[in-house]
Amino acid sequence: MSSARLNSLGQQLLTYIRSNRTALVDYGARYRAGRRISTSLADSAVNSMVAKRMVKSQQMRWSTSGAHLMPQVRAAMVNGNLRQLLRHKPDLPTLPLHPIFQPTLPLLRAA
In the chain, where the domains are located: 1-37, 38-83
Tell me what pLDDT residue 33 has: 92
Tell me what pLDDT residue 20 has: 83
Q: Read out DSSP for 26-51? A: -HHHHHHTT-----HHHHHHHHHHHH
Give CA torsion, residues 103, 105, 107, 110, to 10 deg. Answer: 140
pLDDT profile of the chain (111 residues), mean per 10 = 86 89 82 81 73 69 76 81 81 69 59 50
Q: Measuring CA to CA, how many Å separate 68 from each of 34, 64, 73?
A: 32, 6, 10
